Amino acid sequence: MATETSTETSAGQERPAHRRRRGGRLGAFLFATPLRRHLVLAVLAMVAVSVALESTDAFRNGQLAAMAYFGIAAGGLTVLVGLNGQISLGHGAFMAIGAYTAALMLRGENPLPLAVVLVAAAAVALAAGALVGVAAARLHGPYLAGATLALAVAVPGIPLHFSGVLGGEQGLTVRVPAVPDWFADAVFFVTGQDPGRSRYLGYVGWFCLVVTFVLLANLARGRVGRTWRAVRDNEVAAELAGIDLGRARVLAFVVSATCAGLAGGLLALSARIAAPSGFTLSLSLLLLSAIVLGGLGSLPGALVGAALLTFLPQLATTLGQDLGLSDVRAAELAPLAYGLVTMLVVLFAPSGIAGWVRRRRTSPSSSPVPSGRHET
């Protein structure tokens, strides 16, 4: 499967562009539109993920699953911040909503199929995102930041209040459904091994990630993405061009929240629990720093950020222990690094983040060259 696809890839690239339209050959067909290109990339990514999952142990499988849900949440956030110029410090809240939805749906004796559960987690977050997004669409900069910050702090209080249904401080334990037979058979057929639950969740997570990224990439390249960028770059011009600012912003918020909800559902499965302590303000802030580190506005960047969120803590903690710190303190080295790098990126390499902000700020009137820093 893998080899076949890659030969077709190179064949497709050699063909002159005008002949692709005929679509007679598979390669030409596959690369005819951005959507098809994304799908090919997606298949390749899934193959790479299978190799990675099959060649590592259960612990690494778990980490890869974590990277997948961080990646989905970061991908959604990067669309919101990078493409639409809104900010959210509250994506942990949407992850919580997705996680609790999934946990509740998996409680019964005969839970629904996993796909249904995950779609529901995303759908509930979508609804919540629409509610918040309608309000958020009218806010800018620090006001939007403050409002979403309040959201991040408020949502974990809800399960504490409704502890009967939502488990209070302890949270809800999540029963991971058994690996479906067809899936186990398929994996066994290819690798000769039975997949454990961790590996299964790794596949599920990465499948979701790939699907999400294909959808996001297509949105970003299409008309919707152009609208978002137009709103981000210059609201006045966008409005004059007939773009409904409110609708564009709400849509970006909803898409982003939906991704966070799906990520939350996957998190609940991986962690086997949905509890308030899993969705602290830190989670929201780390997500934001992840997309800043990865380079704002790019989906591969979001994936880099997710990888950092997943793998840096262990590295940093080990380093800290080698330096003689206790476990608990060594665990703080990773956030310390995220925070510092985030600050440095904003201050010294704002081209990624600030490139568009600068364009947006200076284009209406070319403001004078500032005369250097204030004297102190």
Partner 1 sequence: MQQLFTTLLTGLTLGMVYAAFALALVLIWRATRIVNFAQAPMAMLTTYVALVLIEAGYSYWLGFAAALLSGLVLGALVERFVIRYVDPRSEINPVILTLGLFIVLHALAALVFGARYRSFPAPFGLRGFQVGDTTIALTGFGIFTILSVLAVVVLLVLLFRYTDVGLKMRASAFNQEVARLLGVRVGRMLTLGWALAAVVGSLSGLLIAGGGLVHPSFMDGVVVYGFVAAVLGGLDSPVGAVAGGLILGLSLSLVSGYVGSQLVSLAALAILMAVLLVRPGGLFARVRERRV
Partner 2 sequence: MLSVRDLTAGYGAVTALDGVSFDAAEGEITAVLGANGAGKSTLLRTISGLVRPSRGSVTLAGLDLGTVPVEGMAAVGLAHVPEGRGVITELTVEENLRLGALGRGGRVGAADLERAYSLFPILAQRYRASAHVLSGGERQMLVIARALLARPRVLLLDEPSLGLAPRIVVQIFELVQTLVRADGLTVVLVEQNARSALSIANRGVVLNLGRVVVSDEAAALAGNERLRHAYLGF
364 interacts with partner 2 by CB under 8 A: no
Q: 288 touches which of partner 1, partner 2, none (CB within 5 to 8 A by kind)?
A: partner 1
Q: Near partner 1 by CB under 8 A, which window of 100-108, 182-190, 264-272, 282-290?
A: 282-290
Size of site (CB under 8 A) for partner 2: 8
Q: Which two tokens stand for residue 246?
A: 């409110």
Task: List beta partners, residue 274.
Answer: 172
108 interacts with partner 2 by CB under 8 A: no
Q: 52 touches which of partner 2, partner 1, none (CB within 5 to 8 A by kind)?
A: none
Size of site (CB under 8 A) for partner 1: 58
Q: 192 touches which of partner 1, partner 2, none (CB within 5 to 8 A by kind)?
A: none
312 interacts with partner 1 by CB under 8 A: no
**Cβ proximity to partner 2, 13 vs 366, nearer residue:** 366
Q: 372 touches which of partner 1, partner 2, none (CB within 5 to 8 A by kind)?
A: partner 2
4 interacts with partner 2 by CB under 8 A: no
Q: How far apart are CB 371 and partner 2 at their closest, in Å?
A: 5
Q: How far apart are CB 156 and partner 1 at their closest, in Å?
A: 8
**Cβ proximity to partner 1, 254 vs 266, nearer residue:** 254
10 interacts with partner 2 by CB under 8 A: no
Q: How far apart are CA 257 and CA 80, in angstroms?
A: 9
Q: Near partner 1 by CB under 8 A, which window of 59-67, 69-77, 132-140, 196-204?
A: 132-140
Instruction: Please classify residue 292 by burial: count the beta carbons closer than 10 Å to its beta carbon, then call 0-12 exposed, 13-18 middle and 19+ buried.
Output: buried
**Cβ proximity to partner 2, 110 vs 367, nearer residue:** 367
**Cβ proximity to partner 2, 324 vs 372, nearer residue:** 372
Q: How far apart are CB 63 and partner 1 at their closest, in Å?
A: 21
- Of residues 86-105, which lie at the interface with partner 1 (CB under 8 A)? 87, 89
**Cβ proximity to partner 2, 24 vs 368, nearer residue:** 368
351 interacts with partner 2 by CB under 8 A: no
**Cβ proximity to partner 1, 224 vs 281, nearer residue:** 281
Q: How far apart are CA 360 and CA 323, in angstroms?
A: 46
Do residues 287 and 92 make contact, with C-beta atoms less than 8 angstroms apart? yes
Which among 338, 356, 340 is positioned nearest to 348, based on CA atoms?
340
Q: Near partner 1 by CB under 8 A, which window of 31-39, 72-80, 170-178, 274-282?
A: 274-282
364 interacts with partner 1 by CB under 8 A: no
Q: How far apart are CA 133 and CA 284, in angstroms?
A: 17
- Of residues 137-166, which lie at the interface with partner 2 (CB under 8 A)? none
Q: Near partner 1 by CB under 8 A, which window of 29-37, 57-65, 67-75, 351-359?
A: 351-359
Q: 109 touches which of partner 2, partner 1, none (CB within 5 to 8 A by kind)?
A: none
Q: 369 touches which of partner 2, partner 1, none (CB within 5 to 8 A by kind)?
A: partner 2
Q: How far apart are CB 74 and partner 1 at their closest, in Å?
A: 14
3-state secondary structure the chain: CHHHHHHHHHHHHHCCHHHHHHCCCHHHHHCCCHHHHHHHHHHHHHHHHHHHHHCCCHHHHHHHHHHHHHHHHHHHHHHHHHHHCCCCCCHHHHHHHHHHHHHHHCCCCCCCCHHHHHHHHHHHHHHHHHHHHHHHCCCCHHHHHHHHHHHHHHCCHHHHHCHHHHCHHHCEECCCCCCCHHHHHHHHHHHCCCCCHHHHHHHHHHHHHHHHHHHHHHHHHCHHHHHHHHHHHCHHHHHHCCCCHHHHHHHHHHHHHHHHHHHHHHHHHHHCEECHHHHCHHHHHHHHHHHHHHCCCCHHHHHHHHHHHHHHHHHHHHHHHHCCCCHHHHCCHHHHHHHHHHHHHHHHCHHHHHHHHHHHHHCCCCCCCCCCCCCC
User: What is the binding site for partner 2 (CB under 8 A)?
Assistant: 366-369, 371-372, 374-375
